[in-house]
Amino acid sequence: MKKLLIPLVCGLFAICSCNLEGSYSATNVQDIVTIVEHQPMNDLGVQYTITKKAQDTPELTEGNRYFMLFDILNRQYEISVKSVAPVEILPAQAVDPAEEIKGHDPIQIYFNWIGSRYMDLAIGYYFDEKSNYARTFQARYSLDEASTLNVFLYLDGNDENPASMDENNLKQNTHFISIPISDWDFKAVTLTVDILTSTSEGYVIEQKTYSTRQ
């Protein structure tokens, strides 16, 4: 079962919560899948078969992960794909107290799923459309004595955000990330990110930590 770490609900549901009993179809299903033997499979082992797809659907690469929007056509999980976005697999490195993290651009988390293998996130971030800066995400982790897995996610976005620039000169983009978590035995999870906060004096960047128990 996938769990929501962050209660920012935007109408998403995956096949883990999609019950086909009494029905043979479902519309606008959203799921993160891995391409296995040329077909998408979600982390619960549900194998979909693509029978239809939108004209602009990109070529799907074996072993890669994707965020997919689709209709389920029948109980054999034949699907009609509406849209596909690549998912970055981002391994977390152990926290190094001596490391100085440079990337503290704010992000907005649209959704977060925790499964047995991955922490999956959809992230919004700002960028200057005149910039060609190569933005990078970094993930760090620590596992404390209470078996809490603490994950820290950072974005190096060249300070292209409303705390540093005029918001009118910025655009927003969505990025999908899967952080592998199957190597750790944990009872609870926290996720710490930099977020944008509006104050009477303008925007500031603050750290926020979300948490849940398994």
Contact predicate 2/115, CB 8 Å: yes
In whole angstroms, give the CA distance from residue 193 to residue 115.
Answer: 19
Burial class (CB in 10 A: 0-12, 13-18, 19+), 131: middle
- 3-86 adopts what CATH topology? OB fold (Dihydrolipoamide Acetyltransferase, E2P) (2.40.50)
Contact predicate 52/81, CB 8 Å: yes
Could you tell me which CATH number the domain at 93-213 has? 2.60.40.3220
**DSSP letter assigned to residue 168:** G
- How many CB atoms are closer than 10 A to CB 101? 13
Q: Measure CA 1 to chain center.
A: 16
Domain layout of the chain by residue ranges: 3-86, 93-213
Burial class (CB in 10 A: 0-12, 13-18, 19+), 172: exposed
User: SS3 of 132, please?
Assistant: coil
pLDDT of residue 22: 59
Helix ranges (DSSP H) in the chain: none
Same fold yes or no, 3-86 and 93-213: no
Which residue bears the tokens 């920012």? 8
- Evaluate the CA torsion angle 59, 37, 13, 208 in order and state its sign: negative
Q: What is the mean pLDDT of each run of 10 residues along the chain (214 residues)?
A: 45 46 79 95 93 93 96 93 97 94 94 90 95 96 93 97 95 96 93 95 94 69
Contact predicate 202/113, CB 8 Å: no
Greatest distance between any 2 Cα atoms in the chain: 57
pLDDT of residue 153: 97
Burial class (CB in 10 A: 0-12, 13-18, 19+), 170: middle
| pTM recorded for the entire structure | 0.88
pLDDT of residue 17: 43
Phi, psi torsion values for 112, nearest 5 degrees: -150, 130
